[in-house]
Structure 1
Amino acid sequence: MSGHTDRPGGATAVEEKATPKRLPPGGRRGGPPHMNMGMPAEKAMNFGPSARRLLGRLRPHRLPLAGVLGLALLSVGLSVTGPKVLGHATDIIFSGVIGRQLPAGSSVDQVVAGARAAGNDNFADMLARMQVVPGVGIDFTRLGRVLALALALYVGASLLMWAQGWLLNGVVQRTVLRLRAEVEEKLNRLPLPYFDRQPRGELLSRVTNDIDNIAQTLQQTLSQLLTALLTVVGVLAMMFWISPLLALVALVAVPLSVLVTSRIAKRSQGRFIAQWTHTGELNGQIEEAYTGHELVKVFGRQKEVEAAFHAKNEELFRASFGAQFISGIIMPAMFFIGNLSYVAIAVVGGLRVASGSMSLGDVQAFIQYSRQFTQPLTQVASMANLLQSGVASAERVFAVLDAEEQSAEPARPARVADPHGRVEFAHVSFRYLPEQPLIDDLSLVAEPGHTVAIVGPTGAGKTTLVNLIMRFYELDAGRITLDGVDITTMRRDELRGRIGMVLQDTWLFGGTIRDNIAYGRPDATEEEILAAARATFVDRFVRSLPDGYDTVIDEEGSNVSAGEKQLITIARAFLAEPSLLILDEATSSVDTRTEVLLQRAMAALRSDRTSFVIAHRLSTIRDADLILMMERGRIVEQGSHDELLAANGAYARLYRSQFAGAVLTDEIPPVPGVGPAGPRPAVAPAGN
């Protein structure tokens, strides 16, 4: 038995049954008839709104982000200054090489005039723009100072970039931390029907895989995008400063790059949505097959399970391959466009150096700038697949955050001042689907200290009835009161804290047997835990274990038997001492001898508190104060065991079907491949 409470660590004894991936209509938990439907089709939002919403989650970290922006500006500023400084170093080297070849003692004007007289105008124009001293070689002192400045610029830019990355990493991780917390809190606020409709593996994939993918996307793209955009702006400014003509040549590549990137990105976005959708569905399929692997082997359905896995795996492969291949085209396309721009700049720059319009250092710096200009564009393009993958995951997480929540808690919640455990259903109506009636105008009263047994065929609404007491589902009409207080006016944790629930499907968490028993009341003493274990016969088998109460139960509870797990959950309820007790076929997994002993233990557990017992073995509820016989959501009979047998109605027929042999019921139509129509035996129901 586990705590089902809206507050963490609540001391409650309510057992929340693990939800299977799909439950049939009228399944044991009384879930909605549509819970066996597949996942609803994913409807992808537009990339822009989803990306803006994701970036909007960074808003609480404005101050650190301002620091990131400032560091990025300084880092990019130093980086874009470097090529210009290195271009100056190139001019010093080139001037020294040319100067050594000129006659010493002559002036630059004389050398230029001589070159023009010889008809070498291009050389004369180039020499006129150079700072050269005839007969003097490279000025290594000046060159050393320039190179030291360039080194300082690049080292400073690297340190600033490291500081920016460290600061941004903290922002991203805190953002994802808050997102995980919001999803966890959201899951606690979602109504039970939401989980009925969601395959467990699919939901786990959104909470784990998709959030991890968002963290990776933000971590890898934010810093690079910011740096890339600032680099483009800074480099563009330096390019126009050096040569407006060459800058215009370089800018021709921009619209071409944007056009190619946008076209490819649009084609790959849908495939990324499909990729993460198929990932979630495959997780759900694997989780379902792993949980029920014993039944798969018993019924020999391994081939069908493998075929279903391979089919879904193939769908995931095709979606992933298509997404990665199409988005992967961006990188080579950008390299091709960048190389075209590089060739154009080299040709035009060479001509301008030859004509004396530019220095060799400026052309060399401009070529570096052209590389710096196309590199950020290529980086942004190469991040397109990562961005789209992250935004697709964000859409799936936002779908969980946007899901309709359970009704809000009352502003002024009511409390039960004098708890006795009187429960009253007054004209209660409830349907999972509006067009499918289930419970209509049901009224009953459970007096304090009484045991109310609920019996009936599968799908009659037995478990639904107790789920309504727990407020797992909200009523369509009528009301339920606990000691005269409408349960809708109480806080859910207050209501559930007064109710203990032991279910047919047990739930134990990974921990010791002692911890599992104390889950219902964490502040219980060792003596109280041992007393509860002895009263429910847990002590009998725990003493035979090597580690006793310190035996660690794994997550699946596979190191204890099904009956032993049931005993531990009953001990948990015994220790919690709730004022209202719900037992849903709580002894179905134990042997006959242990069941007799447990009936005595639960008789003591039920004393002085109201109890609702859902039973299929009618021998376990003959001593109940009130037995409700339900069919199709209605109470068709109610009374004590002897009264209902004397009435010779539906309960009597159900009782005789268990204890008086097979009873022939109505004729049934023939079933193809089975045999002719005829009377069928009425057997004890095995479901709800």
Structure 2
Amino acid sequence: MRPGASPAEASVATTTKKTVSAEHSNLLQTLVNLWPYMWPSDRPDLKMRVVWASVFLLISKIVLLLVPYFFKWATDALNNKPDAVGLLPTFLLGAVMLVLAYNGARILQAGLNQLRDALFASVGQYAVRQLAYRTFVHLHRLSLRFHLERRTGGLSRVIERGTKGIETIVRFTILNSVPTFIEFLLTAAVFWQGYGLQYLLVTAVTVWLYIWFTVRASDWRISIRRSMNDSDTEANTKAIDSLLNFETVKYFGNEEMEARRFDQSMERYEKSATQVWTSLGWLNFGQALIFGVGMAIMMAMSALAVQRGEQTVGDFVFINAMLIQLAIPLNFIGFVYREIRQGLTDIEQMFDLLEVEQEVQDKPGAVELAVADGAISFKDVHFAYDPARPILKGISFEVPAGKTVAVVGPSGAGKSTLSRLLYRFYDVQEGAITIDGQDVRDVTQKSLRKVIGMVPQDTVLFNDTIAYNIRYGRPGASDEEVTAAAEAAQIGTFIRHLPDGFKAMVGERGLKLSGGEKQRVAIARTILKSPPILILDEATSALDTRTEQEIQAALDVVSKNRTTLVIAHRLSTVISADEIIVLKDGVIAERGTHGELMQRDDGLYASMWNRQREAVQAEERLKQVRESDDLGIVTRGVPAAE
């Protein structure tokens, strides 16, 4: 399966508790999903590596089967009862030569195993990379709704465990399960032919009890493993969430509370992990008990046969060597089953992620968006995040090509929802949104987002250099173009005064920069992208008045001759808009220019303008009083209040 393939159409709901039948059905589906990674159809060279690795493994099993025979023949030779006459050349019948052949076979078998592992290493690592890549691509294709409802820490933990589990499952499933089964059959055939049906029956019963106990005990341990994984995910989620909100934790002095919440999760992890190791001890003891009883029975049968003269000491040694040799794949089968089950548990959530459907998908045959003028039209748009709470209730307006239309209104009126719908983070439920007459649902998302630039209120930057964050608008841009974009955004002087200039790191989410500096970087990024359509979503609402004026000047430069949709809280930033749309409760309450709306004394826009103006005037008066007080302290040496 090629990386980035389309996600599965069926979505599997993740549940906390499952019945046994449902659990095994899910495991089977996971194995089916894993098959393309086990047998990569797009890499014939890797498939040949799998084939050759399997061939060498089978040869090693045959060589391993000869090891007990050489041991038996060497023992009989030391007792002057050579048992290999007619099977081996004369020069190999001596005890010393048989001992050398015995050890040579063991060395050859070990070498073949290592050759198998070397051949398969690239197959396992390619499978890990392919699954991780596909998961990463799929996560970026999922809707904004999905990411808003997930925790980043828990999501990263799921991916981490899943990519680690895939290599184990692929390796054990392809190269060990079938060859080990063949080894069981060969061992059973040897016992049946050489020593009779009773030895075969004891071997079969021992193997069956061993596997039955291993499967039952491992199934019991899986539920404990799931609990441990859940606790681990919860602890990691809380740790990352706390560190991402480092400043907030410090603001409220809640370090101890965060540490306590993290420790509570780790306490649950500690209990589950302890149970995992304790249950492993019981599993290993039960396996040793079952195999020990089976070996004791067969060794007693062989000892009695030796006393009766029916077998030689070499036969006794051979049976013992075969049983010890059989213990290795038996123990390995238990290990393989446990690892596969635990690995499936680890990647189960990852495949659930891959099976989550894209809420917003390109239609079959979707075409590239062709932008001539960039005119935007909202036609009777209805939308709700939750069906019980409609957000937009039939919104209709146009943003003419090259013009600026502002949307204002109280919080919760649906202003930012308009930008999300235009970007197709969500699809409208009724009505349509068009650009130059083309419904945004009929064009590819990539071509749509290519022609739209966004300057958001909360600018989150990558933890990289300033140059990287500006160049993110157009990754192929030259250094000269990056510098020109920074100058146009009025941040060039600031960058030049930094010790590292454009190579300065901005920190996690850009926390090393101020709000105004981050906004300027966002503006520079959009200038570099140079889109025909621009969205300014509350781009200055979180800034102080002076910074707002500076940023607004930069935004005016960016929006010149571009179709611009401004979503604003501060009305002072939209005075020059060609049209102002006032939203209230999901409908258009008023519309017009600033002057027209201000003429309506009892209008919503006029009342909002007056309240904001009064708030600004009160802030200015308070500032003047503070400056007067400070001046009094400086000039008279006594507080102004005195």
Same fold, judged at TM 0.5 (above):
yes
Q: Structure 2 matches for 1:185-584, cutoff 5 A?
A: 185-219=137-171, 223-226=175-178, 228-244=180-196, 245-417=198-370, 419-584=372-537
List alignment gaps of at least 5 residues for structure 1: 1-6, 8-38, 100-128, 132-138, 664-688
Report the CA distance between 1:320 and its aligned residue: 3.0
Which of 1 and 2 has greater Rg? Answer: 1
Match in the other structure for 2:57: 72
Match in the other structure for 1:46: 23
Tell me if structure 2 keeps the 8 A contact 1:414–1:485.
Answer: no
Change (3 A) 1:348 1:204: same
Identify which of structures 1 and 2 has the higher relative contact order when contacts are C-alpha pairs closer than 8 Å and 6+ apart.
1
The superposition leaves residues 132-191 of structure 1 with CA deviations (integer Å, 9 ceiling, x where unpaired) of xxxxxxx99722322232233222212211111122222222222211121122123222
Change (3 A) 1:71 1:618: same
What secondary structure does 2:372 align onto?
A: coil
Bigger drift between 412-421 and 452-461 goes to 412-421
Identity %: 29
What secondary structure does 2:377 align onto?
A: strand
**Aligned to 2:76, which of 72, 87, 91?**
91
Match in the other structure for 2:637: none
What secondary structure does 1:552 align onto?
A: coil
Report the CA distance between 1:353 and its aligned residue: 0.6
What secondary structure does 2:510 align onto?
A: coil
Partners of 1:225 and 1:286 in 2: CA distance: 39
Partners of 1:274 and 1:140 in 2: CA distance: 58
Partners of 1:158 and 1:483 in 2: CA distance: 70
- Residue 657, structure 1, aligned to residue 611, structure 2: yes
The superposition leaves residues 56-97 of structure 1 with CA deviations (integer Å, 9 ceiling, x where unpaired) of 23133654333232211110110011101110000000127x
Match in the other structure for 2:573: 620
Tell me if structure 2 keeps the 8 A contact 1:342–1:370.
Answer: yes
Bigger drift between 270-279 and 632-641 goes to 270-279
Q: Structure 2 matches for 1:107-118, cutoff 5 A?
A: none
Partners of 1:40 and 1:50 in 2: CA distance: 14
Partners of 1:401 and 1:51 in 2: CA distance: 11
Partners of 2:542 and 2:144 in 1: CA distance: 25
What secondary structure does 2:591 align onto?
A: strand
Change (3 A) 1:368 1:71: same
Tell me if structure 2 keeps the 8 A contact 1:626–1:640.
Answer: yes
Tell me if structure 2 keeps the 8 A contact 1:231–1:372.
Answer: no
Q: Structure 2 matches for 1:21-40, cutoff 5 A?
A: none
Aligned residues between the structures = 588
RMSD of the TM alignment (CA)?
Answer: 2.7
Partners of 1:76 and 1:40 in 2: CA distance: 41
The superposition leaves residues 443-482 of structure 1 with CA deviations (integer Å, 9 ceiling, x where unpaired) of 1111112212222222221111111000110110111010
Bigger drift between 389-398 and 247-256 goes to 247-256
Match in the other structure for 2:560: 607
Partners of 1:53 and 1:202 in 2: CA distance: 25
What secondary structure does 2:94 align onto?
A: helix
Query: Which residue identity is paired with 2:366?
Result: P
Bigger drift between 594-603 and 193-202 goes to 594-603
The superposition leaves residues 29-61 of structure 1 with CA deviations (integer Å, 9 ceiling, x where unpaired) of xxxxxxxxxx97546662441553255231336
Report the CA distance between 1:265 and its aligned residue: 1.9
Change (3 A) 1:191 1:430: same
Partners of 2:230 and 2:264 in 1: CA distance: 14
Match in the other structure for 2:39: 59
Query: Which residue identity is paired with 1:659?
Result: R
Partners of 2:402 and 2:434 in 1: CA distance: 16
What secondary structure does 1:637 align onto?
A: strand
What secondary structure does 1:46 align onto?
A: helix
Tell me if structure 1 keeps the 8 A contact 2:537–2:567.
Answer: yes
Partners of 1:130 and 1:279 in 2: CA distance: 58
The superposition leaves residues 194-221 of structure 1 with CA deviations (integer Å, 9 ceiling, x where unpaired) of 1122111121112223222333454467
List alignment gaps of at least 5 residues for structure 2: 5-12, 41-45, 86-90, 618-642
Structure with the higher helix share, 1 or 2: 2
Runs of 4+ in 1 over 6 A off after TM superposition: none
Tell me if structure 2 keeps the 8 A contact 1:282–1:309.
Answer: yes
Partners of 1:222 and 1:279 in 2: CA distance: 30
Partners of 1:329 and 1:153 in 2: CA distance: 35
Tell me if structure 1 keeps the 8 A contact 2:172–2:340.
Answer: no
Bigger drift between 566-575 and 150-159 goes to 150-159
Change (3 A) 1:41 1:278: farther
Change (3 A) 1:325 1:387: farther
